[in-house]
């Protein structure tokens, strides 16, 4: 449940950062609860919203409104319009996520997430992970649609987490980009998190791990646009979006990495779809390849 907290800064806390004092005073509090509260301006010193790096003085009063406990971040079981199950057996499932849906809760007690849909369809996953959403093996951005595999047993979860670390869960995406891509290519540049939502691509500096590279191949081009397939394995956050933009082929509808607004019928969304995922089945060892149909706006039949 959400709880308010208030305390007076002790002498030994003088000069320390506010976020670190909060972490020490409330060690059981999820880090994302503190981040969420700072972003919402809900943590105050002397009644004034304070940044996380604010240094404290003895005697100051710190108040935090409605800090979320761990259970407040658990997925809420829900039906989810547009979501479906592309594959299931006793060990694994592959879900099809619609666009404009969070994979996991991004705020306390959030409903309408893919993790909540997983919980509604497969309630048994609550017994294999303290956080049911963690049985999802990949994460898609809010605006991205497509395939997300999930483990349904503890042994499958352990196996597939290892496969993920080894770069053996391969994801194929459909992207509509600006510019005409003439031939297949690989984008090897390193990606660095800069804080905040966006990432930075270090053009000319190759990532030493080839599993972090993005392979692209054109499907068709015309009118200054290309429909292409992008393949990644151990993908980083926003990898395909950032790599394509840095290569001069921003994804249509990408408001974060492209300065060009989306235009044309059906092009208001981010034109990125996780069309296919392949991995070794945890029980048989055979390669399982599952697809989620592309939305109509991609023009793929």
pLDDT tens for 51-73 read 999 999 999 999 987 777 777 77
pLDDT tens for 255-273 read 888 866 555 544 578 999 9
Q: Tell me what the mean pLDDT of segment 122-126 comes to.
A: 89
Chain Cα centroid distance, residue 42:
24
Q: Tell me what the mean pLDDT of segment 11-21 comes to.
A: 94
What is the pLDDT of the chain when averaged over all its residues?
Answer: 90
Asked whether residue 162 carries a pLDDT value surpassing 80, the answer given is yes
Q: Tell me what the mean pLDDT of segment 23-29 comes to.
A: 84
Backbone angles phi, psi at 121, to 5 degrees: -80, -35
Asked whether residue 146 carries a pLDDT value surpassing 90, the answer given is yes
Task: Go through the domains of the chain in sequence order and give each one's CATH number.
Answer: 3-72 (3.10.290.10), 74-298 (3.30.2350.10)
- CA-wise closest residue to 108 among 8, 3, 219: 3
Asked whether residue 130 carries a pLDDT value surpassing 70, the answer given is no
Q: Could you tell me the CA-to-CA distances from 274 to 1, 43, 291 in Å, in that order?
A: 35, 38, 8
Which candidate in 72, 141, 207, 254 is catalytic?
141
Q: pTM to 2 decimals?
A: 0.83
pLDDT tens for 37-47 read 888 888 999 99
Which residues touch 76 (CB under 8 Å, ≥6 apart)?
105, 109, 110, 111, 113, 116, 119
Asked whether residue 238 carries a pLDDT value surpassing 50, the answer given is yes
Q: Tell me what the mean pLDDT of segment 24-32 comes to.
A: 82
- With 0-12 CB in 10 A as exposed, 13-18 as middle and 19+ as buried, what is 223? exposed
Active site annotation includes 141: yes
Backbone angles phi, psi at 215, to 5 degrees: -95, 130
**What local confidence, expressed as pLDDT, does residue 265 receive?**
47
């Amino acid at each position: 449940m959400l709880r308010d907290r208030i305390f007076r800064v002790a002498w030994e806390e003088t000069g320390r950062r506010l976020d670190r004092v909060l972490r020490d005073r409330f060690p059981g509090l999820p880090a994302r609860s503190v981040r969420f509260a700072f972003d919402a301006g809900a943590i105050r010193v002397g009644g004034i919203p304070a940044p996380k790096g604010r240094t404290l003085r003895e005697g100051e009063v710190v108040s935090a409104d409605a800090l979320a406990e761990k259970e407040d971040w658990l997925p809420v079981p829900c039906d989810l319009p547009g979501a479906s199950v592309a594959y299931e057996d006793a060990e694994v499932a592959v879900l099809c996520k619609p666009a404009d849906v969070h994979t996991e809760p991004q705020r306390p007690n959030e409903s309408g997430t893919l993790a909540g849909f997983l919980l509604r369809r497969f309630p048994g996953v609550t017994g294999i992970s303290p956080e049911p959403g963690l049985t999802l093996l990949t994460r898609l951005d809010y605006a991205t649609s497509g395939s997300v595999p999930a483990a349904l047993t503890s042994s499958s979860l352990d196996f597939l987490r290892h496969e993920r670390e080894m770069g053996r869960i391969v994801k194929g995406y459909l992207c509509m980009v600006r510019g005409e891509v003439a031939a297949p290519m690989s984008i090897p540049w390193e990606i660095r998190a800069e804080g905040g939502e966006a990432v930075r691509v270090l053009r000319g500096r190759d990532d030493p791990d080839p599993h972090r590279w993005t392979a692209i191949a054109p499907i068709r081009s015309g009118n200054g646009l290309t429909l292409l397939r992008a393949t990644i394995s151990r993908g980083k956050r926003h990898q395909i979006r950032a790599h394509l933009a840095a290569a001069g082929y921003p994804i249509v509808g990408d408001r974060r990495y492209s300065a060009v607004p989306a235009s044309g019928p059906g092009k208001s969304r981010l034109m990125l779809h996780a069309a296919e995922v392949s991995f070794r089945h945890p029980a048989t060892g055979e390669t399982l390849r599952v697809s989620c149909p592309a939305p109509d706006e991609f023009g793929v039949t």
